Structure 1
Amino acid sequence: MKKERNAALDVMKGIGILAMIAGHTGISSGLVGFVFVWHMPLFFLVAGYFFRPQSVAEAWKKNFRTLLIPYLLTATAMFVLCAGYSALGRDRNITNAFVAVFVGAGSRGVPVWGEYTIGAIWFLPAMFWCRIIYNYISIRISDKYKCGGG
Structure 2
Amino acid sequence: MNNQAFSIMKGIAIISVVLGHCTTNSRIEAFVNQYHLAVFFFVAGFFFKEKYVVTPMDFIWKKVKRLYVPFVVAGIGCLLLHNIFYHLNIYDTELTIAQFGKGIFDVTIRMVSNELLMGAMWFCPAMLIVSIIGLVGFKIASLSTWNMPLINKRAIVFVFIVIIGSVCILFI
Counterpart Cα distance in 2 of 1:100 and 1:37: 28
Query: Given the superposition, is the C-alpha separation of residues 100 and 20 from structure 1 closer, same or farther in structure 2, using an over 3 Å criterion?
Result: farther
How many Å apart are 1:104 and its aligned residue? 3.0
Question: 1:54-133, aligned counterparts within 5 Å?
Answer: 54=52, 55-85=55-85, 91-92=92-93, 94=95, 95=99, 98=103, 101=107, 102-105=110-113, 116-117=115-116, 118-133=118-133
The code of the aligned residue for 1:126 comes to A
Instruction: State TM-score, norm by structure 1.
Output: 0.73
Percent identical among aligned pairs is: 27
How many Å apart are 1:84 and its aligned residue? 3.1
Q: Deviations over 1:63-104 (max 9, x none)?
A: 111111111111111111224345778532633882774453
Counterpart Cα distance in 2 of 1:133 and 1:139: 10
Counterpart Cα distance in 2 of 1:100 and 1:29: 31
The answer for unaligned runs of 5 or more in structure 2 is: 148-172
Counterpart Cα distance in 2 of 1:93 and 1:138: 46
Instruction: State TM-score, norm by structure 2.
Output: 0.65
In 2, are the aligned partners of 1:63 and 1:128 still within 8 Å (CA)? yes
Q: Could you say what secondary structure the match of 1:51 adopts?
A: coil
- Stretch moving more, 18-27 or 84-93: 84-93
Counterpart Cα distance in 2 of 1:84 and 1:37: 38
- Stretch moving more, 10-19 or 74-83: 74-83
The code of the aligned residue for 1:129 comes to I
Query: Given the superposition, is the C-alpha separation of residues 100 and 36 from structure 1 closer, same or farther in structure 2, using an over 3 Å criterion?
Result: farther
The answer for unaligned runs of 5 or more in structure 1 is: 106-112
Q: Deviations over 1:31-71 (max 9, x none)?
A: 11221221111111111110124122112211111111111
- Measured on the aligned residues, the alpha-carbon RMSD in Å equals 2.9
Counterpart Cα distance in 1 of 2:44 and 2:63: 13
Q: Could you say what secondary structure the match of 1:119 adopts?
A: helix
